[in-house]
Amino acid sequence: MLERARFAPSPTGPLHIGGLRTALFNFLVAKKSGGSFILRIEDTDAKRTVKGAEKHIIDSLKWLGLDFDEGPVRQSSRGNLYKKSVSILIEKGLAYYAFDTPNDLEKAREQSGGNFKYNFTTRMEMSNSLTLTNDETESRIQRGGYSVRMVVPEKRTIKVVDQVRGGLSFNSEELEDKIIMKSDGMPTYHLANVVDDHDMKITSVIRGEEWLSSLPSHVLLYEHFGWTPPKFYHLPLILKSSGAGKLSKRDADEQGHPVFAVKWEESAGFKEAGFTSEGLVNYLALLGWNNSSDKEKYTLFELIDEFNDSGINKSGARFDYKKALWINHLHIKDFSAEKVLALSEKAATQLGEKYSSEITEEIIDLIKERLNTALDIDKELAVFTGQPKEYDSGVIEKINREIIFDVLNFCKLSEELISNPKALKEQLMSFGSEKGISFGNIMKSLRLSLVGNLSGPDLFKIIEIIGPEETLHRIESLTNKI
């Protein structure tokens, strides 16, 4: 079956990781079937609409490569459809006008000791078109300021299958006669959502688990209209990295990791934190899905191919930034040199000025294994673009100054060997056994002079790339310092 799945965010703020994951799962379900991924902007609540939020949503999806086939469809421009739909339910007697003021409702709440539900037990005591005469109802409607509520039947078990959780049943007595049209004439989320999903021929509704409690009301609305409901998927919560509860922007700030795909105001997104879109998409997929294998690295294409409903987890998915970095690393290390360089303009320029394109490629291949994010590129390239800015004093003390001095002096003396790494290595070994200096300390001393610390790729490769002159220059600099 060709699926039609929609991502339906409310533009009430930037798109965070939960929404991104929902968008991805919608995309995967749609694309796996060869169907359509649709973007719908649920902007019926003008007061809550935030300027720039829709753009942030679209920019985020674009960066991740989750291209929508239709949309954005904006609910704010579909008012007539909702009005028509509400009148259908009123005509059928499955919705009614409610005139209760906020005060009336407050009073009812107080009288019931805080347990008030606007439903079959109370609706006949309230001020609505079921309790007022036709004339009164008419004149109240003329005055405006009314809302419309759906009728929830008494004592009904509402059964529905969720693709993630299996069969679910809800007791209608737990529900309220939800408002489906507000006093400003705008539909509520529940009505607009159901009407649109039907009108847009949505086959799968995929959203966060926070909407599970609305599901029975939605199922009833489908029933009231006489429509067949789509399939439902309620995705597990994304939990904060430690402790209980849902991951929030505040937790992310505290833990020092992003929650947005791309920057929002002053907050950097994963993109600005050096993630690749491939890495983020992959990590998002693993937040609540696995195909019961050890496979960790997926391209978007592989995800489309291998995604399956049965791999979606019911329980919350804990956010793990280390894992996100690891997954991003798996992608960067398989990138071509060109693609890696595209992640850092600075690196591309610096290498371009100093090295041929073959050497540049060789350098990138050497550092790729060491990159978690694009921000690591400049750090890892430093050894190839200039001499160390500082030396790790801990290492100097640990090896001992005299030993370092001896090793570096020896290297300086065997100047012609510097251009022959293999011979240099052999000479250093025999120098070591003669002087009683371990080969480890010899290598550390040399590395310290070239890199400034003990990190970095293969030392002889570094020597080969930076060349004999630069190598001697760096050896000289550290000897002078010591």
Piece of the chain touching ligand GLU by CB under 6 A; list 203-211, 322-330, 335-343, 439-447: 203-211
Among 3, 4, 5, 8, binds ligand GLU (CB under 6 A): 8
Nearer to ligand GLU, 48 or 314 (CB): 48
Work out the burial of residue 109: count CB atoms within 10 Å of its CB; fewer than 13 is exposed, 13-18 middle, 19 or more buried. Answer: middle
Contact 29, 5 (CB under 8 A): yes
- Shortest spacing between CB 16 and ligand GLU, in angstroms: 11
- Shortest spacing between CB 28 and ligand GLU, in angstroms: 15
Count of all residues that appear for the chain in the document: 482
**Site membership for ligand GLU, residue 282 (CB under 6 A):** no
3-state DSSP call for residue 84? Answer: helix
**Biggest CA pair distance of the chain:** 111
Nearer to ligand GLU, 217 or 350 (CB): 217
Helix H or strand E encompassing 323: helix 321-332
**Site membership for ligand GLU, residue 193 (CB under 6 A):** yes
Piece of the chain touching ligand GLU by CB under 6 A; list 4-12, 135-143, 249-257, 387-395: 4-12
Work out the burial of residue 246: count CB atoms within 10 Å of its CB; fewer than 13 is exposed, 13-18 middle, 19 or more buried. Answer: middle
**Site membership for ligand GLU, residue 405 (CB under 6 A):** no
Nearer to ligand GLU, 218 or 444 (CB): 218
Three-class HEC string of 182-217: CCCCCECHHHHHHHHHHHCCCCEEEEEHHHHHHHHH
Among 3, 5, 9, 204, binds ligand GLU (CB under 6 A): 9
**Site membership for ligand GLU, residue 225 (CB under 6 A):** no
- Shortest spacing between CB 287 and ligand GLU, in angstroms: 16
Work out the burial of residue 387: count CB atoms within 10 Å of its CB; fewer than 13 is exposed, 13-18 middle, 19 or more buried. Answer: middle
Geometric angle at alpha carbon 198, from 97 and 311, rounded to 5°: 120
Helix H or strand E encompassing 477: helix 459-481
3-state DSSP call for residue 160? Answer: strand
**Site membership for ligand GLU, residue 10 (CB under 6 A):** yes
Piece of the chain touching ligand GLU by CB under 6 A; list 8-16, 219-227, 263-271, 438-446: 8-16
Smallest Cα–Cα separation from 15: which of 211, 225, 249, 216? 249
- What is the bridge-based pairing of β-strands 166-171 and 157-162? antiparallel
- Chain positions 15 to 34 lying near ligand GLU, rule: CB under 6 A, are none
Nearer to ligand GLU, 218 or 329 (CB): 218
Tokens, residue 18: 């939960």
- Shortest spacing between CB 206 and ligand GLU, in angstroms: 7
Cα distance between residue 205 and residue 230, in whole Å:
7
- Shortest spacing between CB 199 and ligand GLU, in angstroms: 14
Cα distance between residue 229 and residue 232, in whole Å:
9
Nearer to ligand GLU, 44 or 372 (CB): 44
* 172 secondary structure, DSSP code: G
Query: Which ranges of 33-153 does DSSP label H, i.e. alpha helix?
Result: 53-64, 79-92, 102-111, 134-143
Piece of the chain touching ligand GLU by CB under 6 A; list 5-13, 123-131, 169-177, 421-429: 5-13
- Shortest spacing between CB 75 and ligand GLU, in angstroms: 9
Question: How many residues touch ligand GLU (CB under 6 A)?
Answer: 8
Nearer to ligand GLU, 7 or 431 (CB): 7
* 389 secondary structure, DSSP code: S
- Chain positions 287 to 306 lying near ligand GLU, rule: CB under 6 A, are none
- Shortest spacing between CB 184 and ligand GLU, in angstroms: 18
Nearer to ligand GLU, 193 or 350 (CB): 193
Nearer to ligand GLU, 165 or 323 (CB): 165
**Site membership for ligand GLU, residue 211 (CB under 6 A):** yes
Tokens, residue 278: 């491939």
**Site membership for ligand GLU, residue 207 (CB under 6 A):** yes
- Catalytic annotation, pick one of 182, 249, 323, 425: 249
Nearer to ligand GLU, 9 or 452 (CB): 9
Tokens, residue 40: 């719908």
Contact 316, 237 (CB under 8 A): yes
Among 42, 177, 209, 470, binds ligand GLU (CB under 6 A): 42
Please indicate whether residue 249 is annotated as part of the active site: yes
Residue 189's φ and ψ, nearest 5 degrees, are -50, -45
3-state DSSP call for residue 423? Answer: helix
- Shortest spacing between CB 379 and ligand GLU, in angstroms: 39
Piece of the chain touching ligand GLU by CB under 6 A; list 3-11, 116-124, 394-402, 467-475: 3-11
Query: Which sequence positions are flagged as catalytic?
Result: 249
Q: Return residues touching ligand GLU (CB under 6 A).
A: 8-10, 42, 193, 205, 207, 211
